[in-house]
Amino acid sequence: MSATPPPAAVTAKDWFRSGVAGMASYLDAAAIVSTGIALVLYQEPLGLSAGQIGALSSMLTFAIAVGALVGGRLGDRYGRRRVFTVTMVLLVTGSALLAAAPNATFLYAGILLVGFASGADLPVSIALISEEAPEGAKGKLVGLSQVLWYGGILGSQLIGVLIGGMGELGARIIYGHLAVVALVVLVLRLRVPESRQWIAERSAAEEVPSAAGNASAVRRLLGDRRYLLPFLALAGFYCLSNVAANTKGQFGTYMYVNAAGSTVQIASALGLAAQIVSVGLAIVFMRVVDGPRRMRWYTIGAIGFVGEFALPAVFGVSIWSLALGNLVGTLGLAFAFEAIYKVWTQEKFPTLLRSTAQGTTIALARVLAAVVALWTPLLVEIGPEFLFASLAVLVAISMGFGYAIDRMRGRRAEGTPSAGAVETR
């Protein structure tokens, strides 16, 4: 295992660049949670059935998957900055459609745009953070994106508390918030330059053509054992854990209202309280991720993540089992889910495969989650305890993949697709 690099000084410029790029995570989380709240509020005035709510939620997740797959590859080929500028334009447009939607047709169009844009934004933004971060602080700055991810959840849930009783107007407000944030991020990103590491590696690839360089990025991931094993393990980890997290994010409010007999306001308030704790834990993650005790914290998170879904499965779905599960689950989300996944994806792959690898695993995970989301409202009506038990099992399996990934930690990803030089971390 390679030695952990010493802590590096992080400048204000580093924080700004990482924060602006990391807003991809804020917008991704906000899009999912806002849709979970807004569709409940749109349900009666726009005449949405349980099947339509499931279809719209599934469409959002599937669009994120397609966006991640396309955006990841485009980010490796054409640069991080170009992709994450275009995605913000699409996100502003889609959010505005959702905020102004007079009927379900506009919802379908807006969700397609928002999902595709947020999915395409994620892999290129995280890659830029990692590539521009100083040595010894890469995990910390990638971890900042997770704090912003929680910020997206918190912002949406706080708005949900305030507008939960407003019906249709509340839905329009929460989507309007998404449009405004995306517009601000677009303006700020115009000040962020392209990744210097990507420019250097891309120039080397163009100057030294090779069979490896001419092969597609996905073929290189699947055809080289050094990349294939981490890729498969990361896909297993993120696909299974994301099904559970996505179900909670998209249908948390729906379960409180339709399975536990609560209200949108109570669901948003309890979720908000749990997410405040999550922000603090995400800051702890930033402090420990570059150190030697990473996996000790991962184990604590794994136990909490499984417990989040096991509690309602064992004790029945109620306001209190859902609330306690959310609180315990904050450990899992902080130390054993998306934050550590983002760090692992940056550690395992060379520059011109990095965005593609992350985009592909995100796409696989979101497609699986989209299939589950299509049936989730019906499963809640049939038997929510069975649904929670199934999610607990999936999370437990995914945590095993995490330990396998850790045993790969410290391997060096070999060179760029063209140059073949060893790229150290």
Span 206-224, mean pLDDT? 58
pLDDT at site 208: 56
The first and second tokens of residue 201, run together, are 């590696």
Dist CA 40 CA 17 (whole Å): 36
* List of long-range contacts for 207-213, beta carbons under 8 Å, 24+ apart: 207/418, 208/418, 208/419, 209/418, 210/417, 210/418, 210/420, 212/417, 212/418, 212/420, 213/416, 213/417, 213/418
Average pLDDT, the chain: 85
Calculate mean pLDDT across residues 319-331.
Answer: 91
Q: What is the DSSP letter of 247?
A: H
Most confident of 167-171, 303-307, 334-338, 372-376: 303-307
Give Cβ neighbours of residue 30 (< 8 Å, ≥ 6 apart).
152, 153, 155, 156, 177, 178, 181
Arithmetic mean of pLDDT, 195-219? 67
**pLDDT > 90? residue 183:** yes
Q: Mean pLDDT over residues 313-326, rounded?
A: 91
Distance (Å, rounded) from C-alpha 279 to C-alpha 17?
20
Neighbours of 182 (CB within 10 A): 28
Q: b or e along 207-240 (b: 16 or more beta carbons within 10 Å of the residue's beta carbon)?
A: eeeeebbeeebbebbeebebbeebbbbbbbbbbb
Rounded mean pLDDT, 180-186: 95
pLDDT of residue 117: 95
| pLDDT at 283 (0 to 100) | 92
Point out the least confidently predicted range of 159-173, 245-259, 291-305: 245-259
High-pLDDT (> 70) share of the chain, %: 90
pLDDT: which is higher, 415 or 425: 415
CB 337 within 8 Å of CB 401:
no
| pLDDT of 215 higher than 70 | no
Say what the pLDDT of residue 220 is: 66
- Which amino acid makes up residue 116? F
Contacts of 68 (CB under 8 A, 6+ apart): 119, 120, 122, 123, 358, 359, 360, 362, 363, 366
CA distance 306 to 304: 6
pLDDT in the model for residue 424: 32
> For the chain, which residues make up each domain, given as ranges?
12-192+226-407
**Residue 186: is its pLDDT beyond 80?**
yes
Q: Look at residue 420 and tell me whether its pLDDT is greater than 50.
A: no
**Is the Cα torsion angle 150, 155, 161, 167 positive or negative in sign?**
negative
Note the pLDDT tens digit of each residue in 55-101. 898 888 889 889 999 998 898 888 888 898 999 999 999 999 999 99
Count other Cβ atoms within 10 Å, centred on residue 41: 25
Which band of pLDDT confidence, cut at 50, 70 and 90, is reported for residue 209?
A: low
The mean pLDDT of 202-206, rounded to a whole number, is: 77
12-192+226-407 has which CATH code? Answer: 1.20.1250.20
